[in-house]
Every structure is written in structure tokens, then in C-alpha cells.
Amino acid sequence: MEELIDLREFGMSDEELFSPADRDELASERITAPKYSYWSSVFRVFFRKKLNIFLLVLLAVIVAFTYIYPAVIGYDSAVDPYVNLLDPTAKHLMPAQAMEKFGGELKWILGSGASGQSTFDAIWYGSSISLSLALVCALINMTIGVAVGAIWGFSRKVDRFMTEVYNVVANVPYILLISVIVLILSASFWTMVFALTVTGWIGIAYFIRTQVIIIRDREYNLASRCLGTPLHRIAMKNILPFMTSVIVTLAATEIPSYISYEVFLSFIGMGLGDMSLGKLIEASQNAMLTPGWELEFWSPVAVASIITVVLYVVGQNLGDASDPRTHL
Amino acid sequence: MTKYLVSRVLRGLLSVIIVVGVVMVLIYSCLDRNLIFANDPVFSKHKSNAQEVYKMQQWEYYGYVDYVPYADFMQQLVSSGEITQPEFDAAIKFGNRAQQDSPAAAEYVRRFSEGYEAEGYTVVRLEGKTRGNTNKYLDGGEPRLYAYRDVPLLSRLWNYLTGLIRVDNIHAVQGDVGKRGLTFTLYDPAYGGEKFSPAIMGNGTVHKYLLYFDDRFPYLHQNLVTISLGKSYSVNKGIDVYHTMTDSQGARDMTMITYPSGNVEMSADDIHTAVYVAGSLAEGDAVVKRNFVDDYTSVTTRKMGLSKLGYSFVIGIISVLLAYALAIPLGILMALKKDKLPDKLGTVYIVFVMAVPSLAYIFLFKAIGEHLGLPTTFDMESPTWLMYVLPVISLALPSVANLMKWLRRYMIDQMNADYVKFARAGGLSESGIFRSHVLKNAIIPIVHGIPASVLGVLVGAIITERVYVVPGAGNLLTRAINFYDNGVIVGVTLFYAVVSVVSVILGDVLMSIMDPRISFTSKEG
């Protein structure tokens, strides 16, 4: 009652105030919903969680140490691991002893390993190999897997054929295939990439195929097809947006899984020739049981675990955020 | 349904056969076959021509090639009666070079070369290498003549598949074995002939005992149908993969046994495994003569421990049971307390197991177990139940996480479904909705995985078995690959493929039993 507007404030005559306004045809057509942009909503939802910001910072630190640190210190994998090879007092040192011997540099913060090398440097060089391997393999497998899986899901003819191919390929022991390829082509980085991708995409393709089949026959796609939408438009506009969060979530599990797989392969003696994280763990596994040497074994294990956990959680949360249903 | 199942099984068999074919191509055609000599000390002892021949012999032994030396060809001509011994003696010795052959030798060398070349073999003649101008050969420099060819894939595959299953019969062995036939006895002579224990024995069969009882699981045993997955060349020399996986291991199990001769003594011999070996009684030593009365003398010994498959199975099955017993209540709890503390704790655990390399947490469990004073290595000689604890936990905890993750997902999906809202609106109690609707639907996809996880334990666990030194089946494949043991690789692959195909089919069957809405017969549409 108190908040009645005093019309005299406007300083207009009654005629001016009460004249009928023109009907604006254009304005009545405008939809007044707030402006929506998919990717800005994804990042808005993603950064709403404080944990994600922390994890991203952690990831940035890890990536910096993995790729920038070895370059900054000029790490040479052919020289640096062996500089103290002939000095028996440099081997298997605890951090405190190593710092006392070599000075308080950052590289001795984790002590020294079996040939007197810095565990800290070896870990970051190893993780650069492991992480690159995981990223390259995931990129190749995801690209081929999603493309093939989409076609596989759409075409019934392709489905019948590919399902039989899948039954065969999935039953050839993965370890056998990898070891045969490694034996034929020598254990280099790109051999490993080839071995992990030559059949690795088929599992992803199968997963995508199942997702496509589920969405393909949903009512809205049926309706869209009845209205005469061409197939590629249905694929690009109706199904792909739906798949974004699935693909992001899948990538989030794929990248860490290649790191784990590399560790596993190195452990059973079928891994890379380079000193990757897996090779480091394998080479130092006897140090685990020797008192005072545990750090040599546990620090690469811990770094591998931290990298995989951070990648996994960031990826899962990004996958959640890229699901449009969480944008409300 | 039956028709559908039959077609599924047939398609499964086909893909198993293709898998075996692919693996054969991989190991016999793609791999550099000189690799098998990399760690062979005998290889470098052979010099010049002898080394080439040794290579051929080893390749034939490992199954790469058909190798026929000239001498074998000639020997065959003699035994088939085509030529006489004097003719053989005249032709068997060929010269250092083709020009130096005697006329008789030249004639048979020509026949040998032409005959085998026509069959697609490569004929190789290595000239004799003599020292200077003398007639003395260099070390291993004798002239050699042989033919070889790669075994074609299809015939390799065919021979392998047809040799897989063998049914024993009374005409299985050649030679004079006396009266062929089967005998049925109620009092197995291996137990002294007084204990009631029915057995079927054969004469003329490969195995002496075809059906018998003993004190080992599953108590009733048979030798009528034998499976041969392929002979091992290096991992377990000369033994079939099937036996490598199923024979008991460890220290000898000595018991009082009665030999066929009636002799009773302490021994680990398992009389029930007696296999026919021609002439073995006559050529055998005093022990054989004292114990046996016929040529069924080849027996295996009983060992105290389980087989490779047995250890993998025991550890695996306990961990599978444990995993389901823990994961189902925990997954339900997570779904019911969504976004509350139990759900958050469970999620942390799931992320840990999903993301951290399995090697890392198995070592972590080992380190923790060591602190608690649990045995960290497997000892067959002095078995205790405690040594199973760590391997079982290492296998169970990751699968708990996996099961929890999916059960929670399925439960939450079901709880948000429209029919649940409707049931609630209709006034059903929460616990009633939960038990007879949500859980029933959410458990179906979980049930689908049960056969795969139960049968999957037979395959063994590579890392767990390595870390805890378990003598299980998990490391068979990796060891075979490291030793280029092609027979074992093919056999183990076949086993894996069969396990995986059977578990998928069984999973589908189990699912359709659990959920009558799922029918495979009318799936077309």
C-alpha cells in the first residue's frame, strides 16, 4: 500500500501516459530465454567445484614437471642415469644422505637409485614417456574407435560383420599380440603405440556402437527420420551432442588406463626399451623389500598413481559437466 | 531357445577356430624364427653345415617346418621294400659336391630332389667343407642334403583341431598285447583288491584305467576321453599343455600302493595313470620288472600340491565369492545413501582402484600384509591357509570396486525410473519397492557377469600370481611367449578363447532365466 507509484514523478501529461502503444510484431517473436552456449556452460559447471580447480592446478604442475623440467635441466637419457655409475658411495642413498653428498639440489629430493642416478629426474623423464604414450594411444584409439563405432552402430550390415570381427579380435590374447609386434619391430616408442592401437580401438568402437544403438532408436530420432532429416544430419545434430559426455568420460578412463597398461607390460617384461615409469617400477621392484631403499620403488609408483588419479577425476568431472542435463 | 543356443555355440566355435588360426599365423609366420636360438647354448656349439641341420631339426621340433633329410628318405625306401639293403648302402653316401656322387647316389639324389620339389619342398644341398687340400672335414663340415617346407596354415590348423580330443579304444595300440577288451571290476587291484572301488580297465587301450575312483577331487576320474591342447617344447618339455595345467605340483605324495605284480611298497606312482609303452616291460630295469606285469608301465607321480589350474581356481573362486558378498551390500548402501558419506567414501575407493595402476595397489596390499605378519609368498611345501589371504584380497578388492560401481549405477537408474515413482504414488512401502522392483531389475546386468567372473578365474591372474609367487595358470602364457613355446601359446589361447565364449553364452542364458522378459529367440526386429 505504501509503495504506490506517484505518476507525477514522470512529468508527463495524462494523454502521454495512457496512450495505447503499438503492437511490435518483431518483439513478440523473440524468445526471452537466457543466452545458452554449450561450452561456456560446461566450464561454468566444471569450475563450480573447488576440487576441480585444485586438480587442474595439480595437473598443470605435473605436466610442467613432466615436459618442462627435463628440458630445463637438459636431461639426457643416454648420459644422466649413468654419471655416478662408478661411484659405489652414490648408490641407493636416502634423500638426506644424497643431499649431503651432492648438495641440496631439487634433484636429490628423492635420493638416488641403483646406479647412483637421481630418482627425481628419472621419474619425470619416465613420466614424460609414459604420459606421451598414453596421450598418443588415446588420441588414435579414440579417433578410430568413435568413427568406426558410429558407422557400426548405424548400419545393420556393418553391425553383423563387425560383431564377428570383434568376437575374434577380442579373443586373441592382447599380451601375445603386443609381444609379437614388439619382437618383430623392436621395442621402441612408436612400436608400442602401434601395438596398443592396432586392436585397441575395437573395444572403444564396440562401446560407442552400443551407445549409438541405444540413442539411434529413441523416439525423437524416429520422429526426426519421419520428418525426412537426412542421416548425416541426424548423426551430427541429434546424436553427436548426446555422445559428447560419453566420449569425454570414455577418454577420461582411457588415458590413465594406458599408463597402467604400460606399467603392467613393463612389469611382465614386455614393455618399452626406454626408462618409462613402468620400466622404473620394474627395475626397482627388489628395492621395495630392502630397508632404506623403499623410496626408489614407491616414488615412481606414487607418481604414476597421482597422474592417473588426477587425469581420471578431472576427466570424469569434465564428462559430468559436459552432460547438458547438469547445466540447469 | 535351443535352436538359438545351438547357433550361438556354433558361431562361438567358429570364432574360437579363427582365433587359433590368427594366433598360428602370428607365431609361426610373423615372428623371426631365428629368435629361438638366441638363448640356446647348443646352437653355437654346432658349426657350419651341422648348424644349418640343427636349425632345421629344431624348427621341425618347434613345429615350423617339415624337414626330411636324405637319409630318412632312403631309409623309408628300404622299409617299404622298394630297394634292398645293398642298394641302400651304395646310394646313401653322397659326395662333397654333386659331381663327385657315385652313379647310384646320383640317381637317388635326383629322385629325392625331384620328388620333394614337386611337393613344394625346398631341397638344399650343403657342400662338404674340407680342411685345406686334405680329405678331413672341418668341424661340422660334412656334406648335407635335405628338403624342407613351411607347414601350411590350413593343414596345421586341421591337424591341431583333429588331434584335440581323442577317445580311447581297445584297438588304440599296435603290437601284441594279448586279449584285447574291457574288464569291469568292483575291487580295484590298485588298492590291493579288497577295498570296494569299481573301475573299468582296458587291454589294447592307451590307458590301462578308463574309469576309476580315488581320494582326490572330483573322486571319479576317467581316461576314456583325453584332451591334447598341444605339446610344450620348452616351458614343460614334452608335456601336453592340458597336463601342465592340470597335473598336481610340489613334493611327492608317498602312499602304500599295490603294483599290478602284487608288490606293495611306499611310492608316489599313480597306477591309475598307467599308459601303454611298447616293449617297456622287456626293456625296463629291475624296478619295472618287479612292479609291472605288462607294457602299461608309464605312470605319473602323485604330488602333494594342487595343479596350476587348481591354485588359480581356489584363489580365484574365493575372491569372486568374497567380491560378490562385499560388493552387493556395499553397492546397495551407496545407492540408498546417494551423495551422503557412504556414497562418497565408496566413490573415493572406486576412483582409487579404477585409476591407480593395478601393480601399485597389489604392491601396497603386499606391503601392508607384510606389516601385519601375513605370509607374502606362496609355499607349496608347507601350506597354510594364511598364505591364501593376500592373493585373495589382491584379487577381490579391485573387483569389489568394479561391481560396486555398476550396481550403484543400475540401482540409481532404476530408482529414478517412472515405474518406481508410480509405485510410490500408488502407496507401496519404500522397502517393498526396493526389494521387489528396484533390486530385482538392477541385479540383472550384474547376473550377466557371474559366469564370466567364475570361469575367468581359470585363466589365472598374471600380476597377483607373480607378486605372491603362486604356482598358478596365470603366467603360463607370458612364460610361453618368453620361451617361444609355440605349442603352449596355441593351447593356452584356445583355452582362453573357449572360456570367454562359453562365459558370454552362459551369461546370456542366466540373464534370460533371471528375467523372463529377455528372450533371444524373437530378438530380430
Distance (Å, whole) CA B498 – CA A106: 54
pLDDT higher than 80, residue A31: no
Secondary element (H or E) of residue B200? strand B199-203
Q: Vertex B430, ends B427 and B434: CA angle to 5°?
A: 120
Nearest to B359 among A177, A184, A267 (CB): A267
Tens of pLDDT along A64-96?
A: 999 998 888 878 777 777 777 777 777 777 777
> Mean pLDDT across chain A, nearest whole number?
83
How far, CA to CA in Å, does A101 sit from each of A105, A108, A113, A122, B450?
11, 10, 14, 18, 57
Residues of chain A contacting B405 with CB distance shorter than 8 Å: none
Would you call B67 helix, strand, or coil by DSSP? strand
Convert the pLDDT of each residue in B222-268 to its tens digit.
888 888 888 887 777 778 888 888 888 888 888 888 888 888 888 88
Strands B255-258 and B264-267: antiparallel
Angle at the Cα of B103 from the Cα atoms of B99 and B107, rounded to 5 degrees: 95
- We find that the CATH architecture of domain B308-484 is Orthogonal Bundle (1.10)
pLDDT digits (tens, 9 = 90+) for A247-278: 888 888 888 889 888 888 888 877 777 788 88
List the single best residue of A176, A263, A277 to mutate versus B (max B Cβ within 10 A): A176
Report which of A146, A173, A156, A263 is spatially closest to residue A217, judged by C-alpha positions.
Answer: A156
Residue A227, C-alpha cell as written in the block:
520428418
The shortest C-alpha distance from A323 to chain B (Å) reads 16
- List residues in chain B touching A: CB distance below 8 A: 11-12, 15-16, 18-19, 22-23, 26-27, 30-32, 35, 351-352, 354-360, 363, 367, 462-463, 466, 477-478, 481-482, 489, 492-493, 496-497, 500-501
- Give backbone dihedrals phi and psi of A113, rounded to 5 degrees, phi first: -105, -160
Edge to edge, the sheet with strand B199-203 lists B181-185, B199-203, B209-213, B220-222
Q: Which of B481, B484, B524 to mutate to test the interface with A (most CBs of A within 10 A)?
A: B481
Confidence class of residue B456 from pLDDT cuts 50, 70 and 90? confident
- Go through the domains of chain A in sequence order and give each one's CATH number: 38-327 (1.10.3720.10)
Residue B309 near residue B492 (C-beta atoms within 8 A): no
Q: Where are the domains of chain B?
A: 38-151, 169-223+248-301, 308-484
Task: Determine the Cα angle at B469 with ends B36 and B251, to 5°.
Answer: 90
Can you give the pTM of this predicted structure? 0.82
Beta bridge partners of B123: B147
Residue A290 has which C-alpha cell?
Answer: 630392502
- B/e letters for A241-250, b = 16+ CB within 10 Å, e = fewer, are ebbbbbbbbb
**pLDDT of B389-399, one tens digit each?**
999 999 998 89
Q: Tell me the pLDDT tens digit for each residue of A295-308.
A: 888 888 888 889 98
Residue the block writes with cell 548423426: A235
